[in-house]
């Protein structure tokens, strides 16, 4: 299969404009004749559904929550990047582009990243116009703070609730269209399969989560904005409901899955505290603007933080990376936390934690200012950890947070199935092997508000789509498969809970395909996952029935997909014999312990084709070319 990225060529500054001009339009009267199915109401799906409806298309929009405004995007804390250069501190579209390509360890497409940096400016204007209450300075200008991997302040924020405020903006825009009758909203509805007719994505099969009713919806294009798959690890900072089912089932219908092993481990999360924990909590990266990360200089030092004198503390990020200090990118900060803990210098009961200390910032700025900046995060920490972070340093440890992998898409955001578009965290994105903080919200909104509404017209204007109806064999077949899988799960005579399997899979993934990976460990995981998957289908027990709200059943289907996806992630990680960004293979590191890329052999996007459960998928490679930011060893020293 030839992967055509459709990336424009020529001067990078004008690629998007020239490309947009080359795309065909659909005239306003004809837009009304098209129906677009949008799955997801997070920042990506919500903004796309609202924008497509505003353009004049009929939109059907789906989410599994009871309201579109409960999508996982609501949890985003720290902020959203944009190259506005309000601080006049040297920022520019080009610098955001440069930082993102470098931060992603040279595993993203330059054309996409440049477009993202350009559009970042429009996003802020649009959100302000919607009334999103970004933090402001005394002068009235929007305030900015810094995030990892950048030496400028370009992160716009609304306290520690940026995702919530942005989502309320997108949700209002969506509600307006629902009110106008241009969007038909289906909450509590889960997409369980993709309908492909004559090679084109034409619909989805859904299950009503309240009644169990299985239904098909047909249209002219399908958009997936269904979020990331970090919950394959069981413990992650993602919302409990976040899952891979929509993209995985589309993958099984022919959409290639790219870079599945590129996962992001966030350095500042509240550490795991026991075997029965089901969720990890993020402490936003914004805290590293003022918090200093340290561990005791000596191994086995059990004194409380307050009794460890200054010269016996190791501010290891400031020591090793003097230019970026505590604001090194996430992959670098996470790996260093692991290293100091592996050396026996971790703190707290489990010794799997490092300190994030605000003592100096409080002395310098006063408690009031710190409270104003991070008050809700400090309260959240105190409620969970039982310690007052104004008095004692926070204890933090890396945790699974974000997935850079996802369905492969071209420059138009179309997958390898014509008519199937993938946006936001669900696609394999512009972040390469490591996403910079505050860039996911930027990408989701860029895709939904600005890119897709331009590119989808071209497909609709140029495709000859026959009218499809629900009697079509492809519809019947997809529905039948959904009915069978649901029934199999409900009637299985096993004895083990879905969660017990999920926890076991998650531990396997964390141990062998987590923060650091080895060929041997990945082979171990690949040897164990199929057996565990078989066992799952033999021994899982799903309580309740299919005709009522049954969250055990919902989870059972999602965990079944996680088993298959986990295998692909390990295979991808094993195949990539290099370290880059969040993918750290212990065999490939520099003498200083940094990731060692192998550009000669691995400068490509790995796009996998499904060949059957348990069958080896086929690997297709999209070569990456760097004309502007030349690949070099990333240095934050
Ligand atoms: C705790 C936390 C804090 C974060 N903070 C930041 C931050 O400060 N800045 C930043 O840039 N990024 C941040 N991120 C990352 C960012 O929040 C996400 O990447 C982003 O919100 C994903 O948006 P999305 O629209 O792609 O998906 P989501 O917001 O996850 O939305 C997915 C949508 O798809 C629907 N859906 C999924 N599957 C199905 C299905 N099968 N059927 C029907 N509907 C389905 C869901 O109902 C939901 O509506 C954070 C992430 C976490 C976990």
- Summarize pLDDT for 183-216 with one digit per residue, the tens: 999 999 999 999 999 999 999 999 999 999 999 9
Least confident range of 2-16, 123-137, 144-158: 144-158
Separation CA 539–CA 603 (nearest Å)? 42
* Residue numbers annotated as active site: 330
Please tell me the residue having the least CA distance from ligand 1 atom 38: 226
SS3 letters across 5-60: CCCCCCCHHHHHHHHHHHCCCCCHHHHCCCEEEEECCCHHHHHHHHHHHHHCCEEE
In this predicted structure, the answer to whether residue 412 has a pLDDT above a threshold of 80 is: yes
Task: Report how far ligand 1's centroid is from the alpha carbon of 2 (Å).
Answer: 30
- What spacing in Å lies between the alpha carbon of 467 and ligand 1's midpoint? 33
**pLDDT above 80 for 429:** no
Q: Tell which one of 441, 555, 559 to mutate to probe ligand 1, the residue whose CB is within 8 A of the most ligand atoms.
A: 441
Please classify residue 498 by burial: count the beta carbons closer than 10 Å to its beta carbon, then call 0-12 exposed, 13-18 middle and 19+ buried.
buried
Q: Which 3 state secondary structure label does DSSP give 263?
A: strand
Widest pairwise Cα distance in the chain? 75
From the centroid of its chain, how far is CA 474?
A: 31
| Whole-number pLDDT of residue 633 | 86
Residue 637 burial class via C-beta count within 10 angstroms: exposed 0-12, middle 13-18, buried 19 and up: exposed
pLDDT at 636: 85
Confidence of residue 446 (pLDDT cuts 50, 70, 90): very high
Q: How far is the CA of 229 from the centre of ligand 1 (A)?
A: 10
The 10s digit of each residue's pLDDT in 337-387 is 999 999 999 999 889 999 999 999 999 999 999 998 899 899 999 999 999
Ligand 1 center–CA 92 separation, angstroms: 27
Q: What is the pLDDT of residue 294?
A: 98
Residue carrying the six token digits 């140029």: 462
Mutation test residue for ligand 1: of 37, 38, 45, 51, the one with most atoms within 8 Å of CB: 45
Q: What is the pLDDT of residue 273?
A: 83
Q: How confident is the model at residue 278 (pLDDT cuts 50, 70, 90)?
A: confident
- Name every protein residue with a CB atom under 6 angstroms from any ligand 1 atom: 39-45, 62-65, 71-73, 75-80, 162-163, 190-191, 225-228, 237-238, 242-243, 245-246, 282, 401-402, 424-426, 438-441, 444
The rounded Å distance from CA 441 to ligand 1 centre is: 9
Mean pLDDT calculated for residue range 107-116? 98
* Atom number of ligand 1 nearest to Cα 237: 53
The 3-state DSSP class for residue 152 equals coil
Give the pLDDT score at 634: 86
Calpha distance 94→92 (Å, rounded): 5
pLDDT at 292 over 90: yes
Pairing state between β 35-39 and 58-62: parallel
| Percent share of the chain, pLDDT over 90 | 93
For residue 274, what pLDDT is reported? 79
Residue whose C-alpha is closest to residue 505's, from 285, 323, 109, 236: 236
Point out the ligand 1 atom lying closest to the alpha carbon of residue 191: 42
CA of residue 590 to ligand 1 center, whole Å: 34
Neighbours of 633 (CB within 10 A): 11
Provide mean pLDDT across the span 571-582. 97
Residues 76-88: what's their mean pLDDT? Answer: 94
Roughly what angle, to the nearest 10 degrees, separates helices 162-180 and 110-130? 70
pLDDT in tens, 535-564: 999 999 999 999 999 999 999 999 999 999
So what's the pLDDT on residue 373? 86
For the segment 143-185, what is each residue's pLDDT rounded down to a tens digit?
999 888 889 999 999 988 999 999 999 999 999 999 999 999 9
What is the pLDDT at residue 159?
Answer: 87
What is the atom index within ligand 1 of the atom nearest the CA of 440?
11
| C-beta separation of 571 from 528 below 8 A | no
Ligand 1 atom, smallest distance to 425 CA: 26
The residue nearest atom 8 of ligand 1, judged by CA position, is: 78
Q: How far is the CA of 27 from the centre of ligand 1 (A)?
A: 32
Would you state the torsion angle of the CA atoms of residues 94, 95, 97, 102, taken in this order, to the nearest 10 degrees?
A: 140
- Whether residue 285 is predicted with pLDDT greater than 90 in this model: the reply is no
What does the pLDDT average to over 609-616?
Answer: 96
Distance, in Å, from the CA atom of 510 to the CA atom of 25, rounded to the nearest integer, reads: 46
Digit-coded pLDDT (tens) for 35-78: 999 999 999 999 999 999 999 999 999 999 999 999 999 999 88
> Which of 37, 38, 39, 40 is the best mutation target for the ligand 1 pocket, counting ligand atoms within 8 Å of the beta carbon and taking the most?
40
**Which of ligand 1's atoms lies nearest the C-alpha of 192?**
41
Percent of the chain with pLDDT strictly greater than 70? 100
Per-residue tokens: 83: 């190259």
Residue 293 three-state SS: strand
């Amino acid at each position: 299969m030839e992967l055509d990225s459709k990336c424009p060529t020529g001067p990078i500054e004008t690629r998007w404009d020239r490309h947009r001009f080359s795309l065909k339009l659909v005239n306003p009267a004809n837009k009304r004749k098209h129906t677009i199915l949008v799955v997801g109401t997070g920042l990506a799906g919500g903004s796309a559904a609202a924008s497509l409806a505003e353009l004049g298309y009929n939109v059907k929009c789906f989410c599994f929550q009871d309201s579109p405004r409960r999508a996982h995007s609501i949890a985003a804390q720290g902020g959203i990047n944009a190259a506005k250069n309000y601080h006049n501190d040297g920022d520019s579209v080009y610098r955001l582009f440069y930082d993102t390509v470098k931060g992603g360890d040279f595993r993203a497409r330059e054309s996409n990243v440049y477009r993202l940096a350009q559009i970042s400016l429009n996003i802020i204007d649009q959100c302000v116009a919607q009334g999103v209450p970004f933090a402001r300075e005394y002068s009235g200008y929007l305030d900015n703070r810094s995030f990892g991997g950048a030496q400028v302040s370009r992160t716009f924020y609304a306290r520690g609730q940026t995702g919530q405020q942005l989502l309320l903006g997108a949700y209002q825009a969506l509600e307006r269209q629902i009110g106008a009758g241009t969007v038909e909203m289906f909450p509590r509805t889960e997409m369980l399969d993709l309908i492909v007719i004559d090679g084109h994505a034409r619909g989805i099969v859904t299950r009503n989560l309240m009644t169990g009713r299985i239904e098909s919806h047909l249209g002219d294009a399908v958009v997936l904005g269904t979020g990331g798959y970090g919950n394959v690890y069981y413990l992650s900072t993602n919302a409990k409901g976040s899952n891979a089912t929509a993209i995985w089932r589309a993958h099984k219908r022919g959409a290639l899955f790219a870079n599945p092993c590129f996962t992001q481990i966030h350095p500042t999360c509240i550490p795991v505290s026991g075997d029965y924990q089901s969720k990890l909590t993020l402490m936003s990266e914004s805290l590293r603007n003022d918090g200093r990360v340290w561990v005791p200089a000596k191994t086995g030092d059990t004194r409380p933080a307050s009794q460890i004198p200054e010269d016996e503390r190791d501010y290891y990020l400031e020591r090793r990376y003097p230019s970026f200090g505590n604001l090194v990118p996430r992959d670098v900060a996470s790996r260093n936390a692991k290293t100091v803990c592996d050396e026996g210098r971790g703190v707290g009961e489990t010794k799997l934690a490092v300190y994030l200390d605000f003592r100096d910032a409080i002395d310098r700025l006063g408690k009031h200012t710190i409270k104003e900046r991070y008050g809700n995060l400090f309260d959240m920490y105190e409620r969970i950890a039982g310690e007052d972070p104004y008095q004692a340093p926070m204890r933090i440890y890396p945790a699974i947070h974000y997935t850079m992998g996802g369905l492969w898409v071209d420059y138009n955001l179309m997958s390898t199935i014509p008519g199937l578009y993938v946006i936001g965290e669900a696609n394999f994105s512009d972040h390469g092997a490591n996403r910079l903080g505050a860039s996911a919200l930027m990408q989701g909104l860029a895709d939904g508000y600005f890119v897709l509404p331009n590119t989808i017209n071209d497909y609709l204007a140029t495709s000859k789509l026959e009218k499809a109806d629900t009697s079509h064999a492809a519809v019947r077949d997809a529905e039948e498969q959904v009915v069978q899988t649901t029934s199999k799960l409900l009637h299985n005579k096993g004895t083990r809970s879905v969660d017990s399997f999920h926890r076991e899979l998650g531990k396997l993934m964390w141990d062998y395909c987590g923060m650091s990976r080895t060929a041997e460990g990945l082979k171990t995981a690949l040897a164990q996952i199929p057996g565990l998957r078989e066992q799952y289908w033999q021994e899982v027990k799903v309580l309740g029935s299919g005709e009522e709200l049954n969250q055990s059943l919902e989870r059972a289907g999602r965990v079944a997909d996680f088993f298959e996806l986990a295998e692909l992630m390990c295979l991808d990680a094993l195949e990539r014999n290099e370290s880059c960004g969040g993918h750290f293979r212990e065999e490939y590191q520099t003498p200083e312990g940094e990731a060692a890329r192998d550009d000669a052999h691995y400068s490509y996007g790995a796009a996998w084709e499904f060949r059957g459960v348990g069958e080896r998928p086929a690997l297709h490679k999209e070569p990456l070319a760097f004309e502007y930011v030349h690949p070099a060893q990333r240095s934050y020293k």
